[in-house]
Amino acid sequence: MAVGDAINVYLHTASTFQPASGVEIMVLAPFITDGSSYVGFTDGTASNTARQHIYHNYGGVGSTQRWVITNTDYYYVIAATAFFGFSGIQIK
- The per-residue pLDDT for range 61-83, each reduced to its tens digit, is 455 667 888 999 888 777 656 67
Region 23-44: mean pLDDT is 77
pLDDT tens for each residue of 13-31: 777 888 999 999 998 877 7
Q: Given 2.60.120, 1.10.600, 2.60.40, 3.30.70, which CATH number is that of 6-90?
A: 2.60.120
CB atoms within 10 A of CB 76: 22
pTM of the model as a whole: 0.74
